[in-house]
Amino acid sequence: MDDVGIDDRISLLEGVWLFSACEPHEVEQIAAMAQSRLVDAGTRVTVEGDPGTEFYVIVEGDAVATVDGDEVGRIGPGGFFGEMALIDGGERVATVTAENPMQLLVFGRHEFNEMLEIAMPQVAPKLLAVVGARMRAIERHAGLDSTLGL
C-alpha cells in the first residue's frame, strides 16, 4: 500500500457516505487535513478505555471492533471509527483491531473539529446516526435496554 496523495484522499472521501452530501471544495478542504497511516494486521488502532485523540477513515483493509473482548462490529474500506471519543471527550468505547494490513486517513482532534465546522450541515446528521447505532450495539452487548432511551 502506497501513501495516499491529496487527489486519492479526495477521491476516497467523495466515496465515503459520511461526506457524500459535501460540496467538492469542502471535500478538498477535509482531504487536505487528513494524514495517511499504514498499520499491520493485528494492530490495535484504538483501545477500549484509552483517551481518544484521533478519527479514522479506512482506505484499504478491514477491522473488527470489540467491547470487553466480544465482537460488536466490523469496518471495511470507506468506513470510519473513533468519532465517539472525540465528540464527547471521553474514553474509547471499543477496541478496533486491523484484521489485515490497513491504510487509514487520520484526523486529530483539531482536524476533526475543523472538519465538522467545514461540513456541519452535511456530516452531523450522518455522524449522529452512526454514533446512535454504535451505542445501541454496545448497549445490547452489555445487556442494557436501549428502548428506555438512556
In the chain, which ranges are E strands? 35-39, 44-46, 54-60, 63-67, 70-75, 80-81, 95-98, 102-108
At 88-117, the pLDDT tens digits run 888 998 999 999 999 999 999 999 889 888
Kindly list the domain boundaries of the chain, sorted by start residue: 6-142
The Cβ of residue 86 has, within 10 Å, a number of other Cβ atoms equal to 19
Mean pLDDT of successive 10-residue stretches along the chain, which has 150 residues: 77 81 88 93 97 92 95 91 85 95 93 85 77 76 56
At 85-96, the pLDDT tens digits run 888 888 998 999
Domain 6-142 class, CATH top level: mainly beta
Give this prediction's pTM: 0.79
Determine the 3-state secondary structure of 90 from DSSP: coil
Pairing of the two strands 54-60 and 44-46: unpaired
Contact 82, 128 (CB under 8 A): no
